[in-house]
Amino acid sequence: MITKVIFGILAFLIAFVPLVTYVLHLYQKAQLQRARKISDLTQRYQALNKIISGTPAQYLSQELAISTIRDSIQFLEALLKVVPKDQRVINSLALKRDLLGQTEHDYAHEQITLGSINAARAVQARLLALRNIISVKRNRGQLDKEKAREYIEFLSWQAIRCITDVLIARAEKLMEDKNLRLALFTYQSIVTEFQKMPENDQAKRAIERSQERIQTIRKEMEKVVEEQLKKQKDKTKSDMREAWEQTFA
């Protein structure tokens, strides 16, 4: 009798343990997939949120801003299905919906001055990151190709513009301070930045304006040199006259 009980227990364990192990494996796999999904959605949302919050409005069109905010809302909604009671996700979703409403009805192009090249490079990096996101969406068929092309061209232009805005402001200040040599170098850098753009009317006009400024600066420099030579010549004459008077006084 005892032998039968023991064999029964062993048979039960032999059948039950693999089943428990399999169920546990499925549970761990599901938890791992859930964690990966949370991580993926969180990273995607954070990338878009960084672009939205960190890019001055003058470098994003209203349409592109709305599209980016809607994408971030989609990631939050998907994340909320995985973690339905997470208050942080709920609050972020509410804030993004409010931001979408504000952007749709009142998109203020506030002119934020970028005070340094480093600040401009940071904005440029965000714009290029958004351009890469648009490219991926286009390649996956998630965005109309023509619309994607317009977005990519716009972002490429703005990525150059945020740098040139800083350089132009710096060049104008150098002109005011009569630091013509550095102003000339800065405008030459501006032309170099615009030449990185695919050829279009905007880039062409910007290059022409910069080259006009370069010509103006060169003329100013020539005037300065002429004035210096004239002063030197007058000083030489004055010195010679003074020496003559001292010699024959």
Mean pLDDT over all residues of the chain? Answer: 77
Q: Which of 28-42, 169-183, 233-247 has the lowest mean pLDDT?
A: 233-247
User: Between the CA atoms of 77, 78, 81 and 84, what dihedral angle is there, to the nearest 10 degrees?
Assistant: -50
Burial class (CB in 10 A: 0-12, 13-18, 19+), 187: buried
Q: Which of 53-67, 134-148, 191-205, 232-246 has the lowest mean pLDDT?
A: 232-246
> Higher-confidence residue: 2 or 93?
93
CA distance 147 to 97: 24
CA distance 178 to 172: 10
Q: Give mean pLDDT, residues 229-234.
A: 68
- The band of 20, judged by pLDDT with boundaries at 50, 70 and 90, is low
pTM (2 d.p.): 0.65
Q: Quote the pLDDT of residue 164.
A: 82
